[in-house]
Amino acid sequence: MKPKYSVLDNVLSVLMALIIFIMFVQVLFRYVFNQSLSWSEELARFIFVWLTFLGAAVCVKERIHIGVEFLTERLTGKNKIYFELFQTAFMTLFNIILSVIGFCWVWEVSGTLSPAMSLPLNIVLYAALPVASLLSMVFGAKQFIEEIHKLKKP
């Protein structure tokens, strides 16, 4: 069966390709043309931050995020579903709080510009946290609903 890729998976692929391209161009300019690009490392760093946070949201969506399964593996039946429900609810609540605090933080630091490219840091860098938390919250809420449906099945 062919794997399904989401829009977010494609965005992550494009971001990774952009980092590779930017670093290739930087090396080419530095060692072949003996000129260094002032913006390339900064842009690659911004893209990497977004790649990391969006990748974490994809891990939540795919249920492959890092976790300790010591207790989950020992539970069976409805107890396991209740525990997974609790975990998902806690994770979703955490992401709601992180999104709210993150958006407040992005608002507070507006006006700060990046040194090389003079881009607003609150958008190109700091907004990655609340956006990815918001996505994780949506994915967590969807998983919560799926787990509720599991409880209703006999």
Residues composing the chain? 154
If one compares 12 and 4, the residue with the highest pLDDT of the two is: 12
State pLDDT tens for residues 99-136.
999 999 999 999 999 999 999 999 999 999 999 999 99
Identify which of 94, 47, 44, 87 has the alpha carbon closest to the alpha carbon of residue 69: 87
Each residue of 77-99: pLDDT tens digit?
A: 888 888 889 999 999 999 999 99
Q: State the Cα–Cα distance between residues 55 and 131, nearest whole angstrom.
A: 12
pTM comes to 0.88
Give, in degrees to the nearest 5, the angle at Cα 120 between 107 and 130.
Answer: 45
Domain regions of the chain by residue span? 7-152
Residue 34: what are its φ and ψ, rounded to 5°? Answer: 55, 35
Determine the Cα–Cα distance for residues 136 and 142; give it in Å rounded to an integer.
10
Kindly report, residue by residue over 33-89, the tens digit of the pLDDT: 999 898 999 999 999 999 999 999 999 999 888 777 888 888 888 888 888 899 999
> What is d(CA 24, CA 40) in angstroms, rounded to the nearest whole number?
10
Sign of CA dihedral 27, 31, 35, 36: positive
